[in-house]
Amino acid sequence: MVSMVEKIEIARAFCDGGNVLSVSLFGHGNVNDTYLVTSERAGLSSEFVLQRINKRVFKCPTALMANMHIVTEHVLEVLDNENDCSDRAWQLPRVIVAMDGKDYVVDKDGEYWRAITKIKHAHTLECIVDASHAFEVGAVLGKFHCCVSDLPCLSLYDTLPGFHITPRYFSLLDKALSTSAGMMRLGQAVEASEVLSYLKSHQAWCSVLEEAKSRGELKEQTIHGDPKTGNIMIDDSTGKGVGIIDLDTVKAGLIHYDLGDCLRSSCNPLGEMTRDISTVDFELDYCSAVLEGYRSQIGRKLTDAERHYLYDCILLITFEQALRFFADYIAGDVYYKVCEPGLNLRRAQVQVQLCKSIESKESDIRKVISALA
């Protein structure tokens, strides 16, 4: 546990001589520890975000920071060079360089910390509130994809090998189930066996996007990697989307990974933490609004192949999230932060229920997708 004195000292390393007034918990992230720092310099106060990078998840924090620097500087340069005719002020967090010139600080325990600017006058929402909000979420993702479309994805480090390669997560699940502790957790709740049965019934199908990529039907580009609703910044005054945060997972990948995750989180109004699992439902109106918002900013038409696999990506990334939550539950909650026993199992149940809703509405979802042509 890092003491408050230590947090203040770490924050001071990013303040360039300023005085740290406070360090407080901030946000709802599942992976990194995040704090809001208030500092003062020359009588003026300001805020920035301080994060301890989770080394259990991100094995090479320096590579992660290199990616973040490359992507943020590229996007901000694109935004700076655009004609001033936008209906909103697009924003993206900037990496704050420490006083030693590095974009991170290593504490006495070997933990890596980074600081980024706080997007002003904007907020996030964990769940979609209405169709206009869904449109804005899609618009922000479309704008991000447009801004990074000319950034060579091979210039980025692969900080999470196998991320969004859905079949890989079955190997992690099988490894966890091979232990006595994993089998004990499986047997502790009948719900766990039900989730496992659903996951196994779809195992042969879950390579659908990887197979399309191997055939050359889908191409990799720079993606965000985690464009869930809670990572989209909404302007406090206008309600318009202005940016995307949590850039830890930027890397090479299929845009379908991003679209699937965006729609997975946006079209479940109850959110992934709900206890009312039986009523989890995929909201078609929100799906349509997200895709319309995305199309309004992407800057190009989706190809026939990209549209063809849109339904698959919605179901697949939802399925993948169920698999990841469940594998983490069986492994003993080693990836996602939990605040109560069994939380990752409940998260997995929510995603499985959402998968079933998506499957029941396949024909309607495909009609929504066909309208994008």
Q: Report percent pLDDT > 90 for the chain.
A: 78
112 shares its domain with 253: no
Backbone φ and ψ for 33, nearest 5 degrees, come out as -90, 125
**Other Cβ atoms closer than 10 A to 358:** 23
CA distance 11 to 18: 10
Assess if residue 123 is contained within a domain: no
Report yes or no on 299 lying in a domain.
yes
> Do 296 and 319 fall into the same domain?
yes
- Please answer whether residues 19 and 4 qualify as being in contact, where contact means their C-beta atoms are separated by less than 8 angstroms: no
Give the residue from 118, 146, 165 where a domain finishes. 118
Instruction: Please check whether residues 233 and 289 belong to one and the same domain.
Output: yes
pLDDT of 339: 86
- Give the separation between CA 166 and CA 210, rounded to whole angstroms: 9
Domain check: are 110 and 143 in the same one? no
Residues 274 and 188 in one domain: yes
In the numeric block, the tokens 């907020």 are attached to 123
Same domain? For 113 and 169 the reply is: no
Using 50 as the pLDDT threshold, list the residues of the chain that sit under it. Answer: none
**183/293 same-domain check:** yes
DSSP-derived letter for residue 98 is P
Residues 327 and 215 in one domain: yes
pLDDT tens-digit series, residues 196-244? 999 999 999 999 999 999 999 999 999 999 999 999 999 999 999 999 9
pLDDT of residue 301: 85
The answer to the question of residue 366 being in a domain is: yes
Residue 306, SS3 per DSSP: helix
Residues 347, 250 within the same domain: yes
Q: Per the domain annotation, does 124 fall within a domain? A: no
User: Are 302 and 323 part of one and the same domain?
Assistant: yes
pLDDT of res. 87: 80
Residue-wise pLDDT tens digits, 128-187: 999 999 999 999 999 999 999 999 998 999 998 889 999 999 999 999 999 999 999 999
Residue in the structure block whose two tokens are 């959402």:
354
Predicted local distance difference test score (pLDDT) of residue 27: 73
pLDDT at 359: 98
Kindly report the CATH number assigned to the domain that includes residue 241.
Answer: 3.90.1200.10
SS3 assignment, position 184: helix
**CB burial of residue 90 (10 Å; 0-12, 13-18, 19+):** buried
Where among 84, 118, 152 does a domain terminate?
118
CA atoms within 13 A on the CB side of 302: 25
For residues 105 and 236, membership in a common domain is answered with no
Q: What is the pLDDT of residue 186?
A: 96
Instruction: Decide if 255 contacts 294 (C-beta within 8 A).
Output: no
pLDDT of residue 45: 80
Burial class of residue 63, CB neighbours in 10 A (0-12, 13-18, 19+): middle
H helix intervals, the chain: 4-12, 61-81, 131-148, 166-177, 180-188, 190-201, 208-214, 255-266, 284-297, 304-308, 310-331, 343-360, 362-370
Which of 118, 141, 175 corresponds to the end of one domain?
A: 118
Where in the sequence is the domain holding 224, given as residue range(s)?
131-370
Q: What pTM did the predictor assign?
A: 0.91
Q: Same domain, yes or no, for 102 and 143? A: no
Into how many domains does the chain fold?
2
298 domain residue, yes or no: yes
Residue 43 falls within a domain, yes or no? yes
